[in-house]
């Protein structure tokens, strides 16, 4: 199992603690590991279980596993695949994709995941967040907010592969998710996904300022310095990334990897406020 890390002060990074650095694994409707760019173009990577086995050797804090087709297809989560992947992981796994009922959450947790990630269910409001938080505790409920822009250039939460915008503005959504009892929020910048350009720190800071919950930056990480910008500069409590942990570099081949703890200590932890 991974080394223990100190409990964060909700909503802000605590001085001297280890920040969670989380690989994000995306699977498609066939259970294959894929990588996207701006929620569009997909590249087939391989078997997610092979990636998990490599991460087992790297002192990874936790894994995020998302079925990117389940909600769009209107189907159940792939319980067998979830159980296969969770059983291989030596670290906590958070699963998201196709979770719109309490029973689906229960079955996913029975598959061995420690957290569920709710996103598509927001189309129906925040009731499911409250139900899940009451039954399993807020620490088991993460909400992912994929954020893009509307035709006016305003930021908005966009569900189902970025194609379904919510009517409420971003700050209202964040407030309602917080009030509903979620344990943390993943801010997934659609326009940065797979670009290696760095996190949308303005977006991350906006969400961090609007909630008392821990905020996880996602979308765009291309180097460890981007982690530092999200935490020290934007007030995030954790960082998640896909391409950085899957490819050798931008435009280069697949190489499942994770920064060594010595590198994280010198390039990330040592620079935190």
Mean pLDDT of 174-201: 98
- Token pair 């961090």 is found at 208
Mean pLDDT of 94-123: 98
Task: Look up the domain containing 199 and give its range.
Answer: 20-271
The Cα 84–Cα 88 span in angstroms is 7
232 inside domain: yes
Q: Look up residue 55 and give its two tokens.
A: 């991460």
CATH number at residue 123: 3.20.20.70
Mean pLDDT of 63-84: 96
Widest pairwise Cα distance in the chain: 46
Per-residue pLDDT tens digits for 44-70: 999 999 999 999 999 898 999 999 999
Please tell me the predicted confidence (pLDDT) of residue 273: 73
**Count of CB atoms within 10 A of residue 168's CB?**
15
Please tell me the predicted confidence (pLDDT) of residue 192: 97
Please tell me the predicted confidence (pLDDT) of residue 17: 59
Please tell me the predicted confidence (pLDDT) of residue 14: 42
Mean pLDDT of 206-225: 97
87 inside domain: yes
Q: What percentage of the chain reaches a pLDDT higher than 70?
A: 94
Look at residue 115 and tell me whether its pLDDT is greater than 70. yes
Q: Which tops the pLDDT comparison, 1 or 216?
A: 216
Per-residue pLDDT tens digits for 222-244: 999 999 999 999 999 999 999 99
Which run of H or E residues covers position 52?
A: helix 48-55
> Which residues make Cβ contacts (< 8 Å) with residue 103, sequence separation at least 6?
none
Mean pLDDT of 260-266: 93
pTM: 0.92
26 inside domain: yes
15 inside domain: no
Mean pLDDT of 132-149: 97
> Which residues make Cβ contacts (< 8 Å) with residue 259, sequence separation at least 6?
21, 224, 267
42 inside domain: yes
Look at residue 77 and tell me whether its pLDDT is greater than 80. yes
Please tell me the predicted confidence (pLDDT) of residue 18: 78
Number of domains observed in the structure of the chain: 1
Look at residue 177 and tell me whether its pLDDT is greater than 60. yes
Please tell me the predicted confidence (pLDDT) of residue 13: 43
Please tell me the predicted confidence (pLDDT) of residue 64: 98
7 inside domain: no
Which of 71-85, 88-102, 149-163 bottoms out in mean pLDDT, i.e. has the lowest?
149-163
160 inside domain: yes
Please tell me the predicted confidence (pLDDT) of residue 150: 87
Please tell me the predicted confidence (pLDDT) of residue 16: 53
CB 165 within 8 A of CB 151: no
CB 95 within 8 A of CB 116: yes
12 inside domain: no
The Cα 148–Cα 142 span in angstroms is 19
């Amino acid at each position: 199992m991974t080394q223990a890390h100190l409990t964060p002060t909700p909503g802000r990074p605590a001085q001297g603690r280890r920040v969670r650095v989380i690989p994000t694994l995306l699977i498609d409707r066939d259970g294959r590991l894929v990588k996207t760019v701006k929620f569009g173009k997909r590249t087939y990577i391989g078997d997610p279980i092979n990636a998990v086995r490599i991460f087992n050797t790297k002192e990874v804090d936790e894994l995020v596993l998302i079925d990117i087709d389940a909600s769009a297809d209107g189907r159940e989560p792939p319980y067998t695949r979830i159980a296969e992947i969770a059983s291989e992981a030596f670290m906590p796994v958070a699963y998201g994709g196709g979770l719109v009922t309490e029973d689906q959450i229960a079955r996913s947790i029975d598959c061995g995941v420690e957290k569920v990630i709710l996103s598509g269910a927001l189309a129906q409001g925040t009731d499911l967040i409250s139900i899940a938080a009451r039954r399993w505790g807020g620490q088991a409920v993460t909400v992912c907010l994929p954020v893009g822009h509307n035709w006016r250039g305003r930021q908005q939460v966009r569900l189902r592969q970025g194609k379904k915008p919510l009517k409420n503005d971003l700050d209202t959504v964040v407030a309602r998710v917080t009030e509903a009892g979620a344990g943390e929020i993943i801010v997934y910048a659609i326009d940065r996904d797979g670009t290696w350009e760095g996190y949308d720190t303005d977006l991350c800071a906006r969400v961090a300022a609007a909630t008392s919950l821990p905020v996880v930056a996602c979308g765009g990480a291309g180097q460890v310095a981007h982690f530092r910008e999200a935490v020290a500069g934007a007030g995030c409590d954790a960082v998640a990334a896909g391409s950085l942990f899957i490819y050798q570099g931008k435009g280069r081949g697949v190489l499942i990897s994770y920064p060594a703890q010595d590198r994280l200590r010198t390039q990330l932890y040592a620079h935190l406020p």
